[in-house]
């Protein structure tokens, strides 16, 4: 069980970084606003290992080949859009409440590595798959809610500055995933 919690923590770090920037942009902590990204990221971190396990070795080659590129394109695209918006839109409230489409894209992009973990789960005979995936999802949910809370506690970074920082973080995560996948 400890190993599954540690896997959940390691898989949730990208989602934590994004949640932190959401908290920075939102300013005052609102539980409802923190639960939303937590639910999106937690659900996809639960779902992707399940899918990966069911897909098993069938698509593992494709996943390893194209997963880093898909993650990079999604994260860099959203990050670039956030940077552009930070310079061209009203700063107040900018990025504080990402829309459904943005959260969905971020959740998918940050959980592609969980899909790969799920492929490895297919070869573990004694693993209780659904409970293990549930632990990963719950850990991610808690980490993301904590990230929004921590981000909201940082003074002085709000609005357009938080949006620009968030865009840079997304691009950096995308580059990191791309480099990890091709090196």
pLDDT at 141: 98
Cα–Cα distance measured from residue 100 to residue 36, given in angstroms and rounded to the nearest whole number: 9
Q: 84-89, long-range: CB within 8 Å, 24+ apart, which pairs? A: 84/167, 85/163, 86/160, 86/161, 86/163, 86/164, 86/167, 87/160, 87/164, 89/160
Rounded mean pLDDT of the chain?
84
pLDDT at 158: 66
Among residues 58, 43, 45, 180, the alpha carbon closest in space to that of 119 is found at: 58
Domain segments of the chain: what residues? 2-182
Listed in sequence order, the residues at least 6 apart from 37 whose beta carbon sits closer than 8 Å to its beta carbon are 15, 18, 19, 22, 98, 103, 144, 148
Structure confidence by residue, pLDDT tens digits, 139-173:
999 999 999 999 988 877 666 777 788 788 888 88
CA distances from 157 to 2, 30, 98, 147, 152 (A): 36, 17, 17, 15, 9
CA distances from 75 to 47, 127, 167, 169, 171 (A): 19, 31, 9, 9, 6
Instruction: Read off the pLDDT band of 93 (50, 70, 90).
Output: very low
Structure confidence by residue, pLDDT tens digits, 59-70:
666 666 777 788
Residue with the two structure tokens 């996948």: 181
Coil vs helix vs strand at 77: helix
- The predicted model scores a pTM of 0.78
Which has the higher per-residue pLDDT, 96 or 44? 44
């Amino acid at each position: 069980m400890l190993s599954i919690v540690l896997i959940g923590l390691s898989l949730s770090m990208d989602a934590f970084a994004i949640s932190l920037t959401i908290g920075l942009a939102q300013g005052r902590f609102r539980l409802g606003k923190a639960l939303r990204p937590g639910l999106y990221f937690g659900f996809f971190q639960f779902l992707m290992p399940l899918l990966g396990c069911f897909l098993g070795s069938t698509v593992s080659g494709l996943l390893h080949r194209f997963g880093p590129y898909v993650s990079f394109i999604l994260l860099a695209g959203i990050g670039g859009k956030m940077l552009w918006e930070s310079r061209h839109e009203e700063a107040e409230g900018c990025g504080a409440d990402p829309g459904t489409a943005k959260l969905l894209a971020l959740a998918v992009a940050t959980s592609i590595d969980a899909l790969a973990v799920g492929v490895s789960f297919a070869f573990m005979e004694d693993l209780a798959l659904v409970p293990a995936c549930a632990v990963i999802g719950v850990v991610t949910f808690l980490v993301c809610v904590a990230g929004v809370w921590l981000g909201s506690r940082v003074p002085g970074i709000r609005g357009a500055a938080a949006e620009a920082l968030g865009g840079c973080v997304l691009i950096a995560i995308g580059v990191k995933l791309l480099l990890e996948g091709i090196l």
